[in-house]
Structure 1
Amino acid sequence: MSTISRRTFLKLAGVTAVATAGASMLTGCSWFDDVKLVIMGSVDDGKTYTEVFSKTMPRILINTVKGNLNLALKLVKEQGPEAYRGADVTVDKDYPNCLTFVKDKETGKESMIIAVKVAMVEVEYEVLVNGKSITSGKHSFPKGVTGIDEDTARKIIAEVAKNNDKVPANYEFDSTVANNLKVVNGKITVALKVAAA
């Protein structure tokens, strides 16, 4: 059986009291409450913005970027839309309420808005079906992006399909084609194969 001296007991009691008080102070300040992070994106140099991302996160994490452009940009690249991770984006500090906490009048919940401008460039693309080229063209993508996701590729395919009857109604992405959906030498290949019935 282990024993504890009166002096050690008083030290431990003091540490416990301080820790308990500290925790209650943090709880009172709602540091561990969840806050919504909203990313507003503009592809026309700040003329128009649309919500591109929304996620509930701990206040203690979001609070670190309050008023700090560099940390806000880092958070956008780490937590924001996949398309922004390697893209050329800048935080627009002039956007209303950017990098500050805003409380919803109806719900009382807080959110932080980070507004970003996305530099866009025209990139060539080619659509392949079962290994054969059916069309090519240009599409605007965020500058610096090294690949596109399947949702973006589907949008391109839907546009192509309006004027091209070679696009199959049922398709899947062809994973056997090297660099499918990747930017290589300034060009994106969108390789499809006819899906089995």
Structure 2
Amino acid sequence: HFPHREAPGKRWVYHTSDTYLLGVAMNAYLSEQTGEPSDYYRDLLVSIWRDMGLSPTLDDIRRTVPDGTPFSGYGLVLHARDIALLGHLLASGDARFSAYFDADMLNAAMQRNAADRGLDAGGETLRYRHGFWGWNARSVLGCKTDTWLPFFSGYGGISVVLLPGGTVYYYFSDGGVHAFANAVKAIAKASPVCGGMS
């Protein structure tokens, strides 16, 4: 076994494999609570996706084997409409999320809590909290105050940036491009972005 190099919660280290292990642990916890075999994705998330109006492509997730453990951290299949709608609902603060998720954790992930931006994720303007990235666009946009924007980033070149007022910018590629600052600058000319998600 390997000892911790420092206390948990002090240094950010990203491993998608850790997200997979969390999925395995969630299944074990649900099984323990219900006394039956459980699947967090099938038993909990699918009904949330339906309530949000997302497409049936989300009724399943990539798995280790058919009917096996959800491949957490990988494997969601979303239509462009799903990305746009889910991003819009998150960015606009749709009340349905508070029925399903811890409000404090969601607010921290969505960069709505100035006291909890997350751990430094490789630079002064980059944070990570509860599965969401956060980027401070203040200097890029010339804002007077910090402007933290939550975003998703996926393998190969997936970016989904959540902006104030429910605006969403998304870009999917397989060329390893994760740049979106110029797109956010263009959006800021048409819709207020400075100040962030607060």
Q: TM-score, normalised by structure 2?
A: 0.29
Which of the pair is proportionally richer in strand?
A: 1
Which of the pair is proportionally richer in helix?
A: 2
Q: TM-score, normalised by structure 1?
A: 0.29
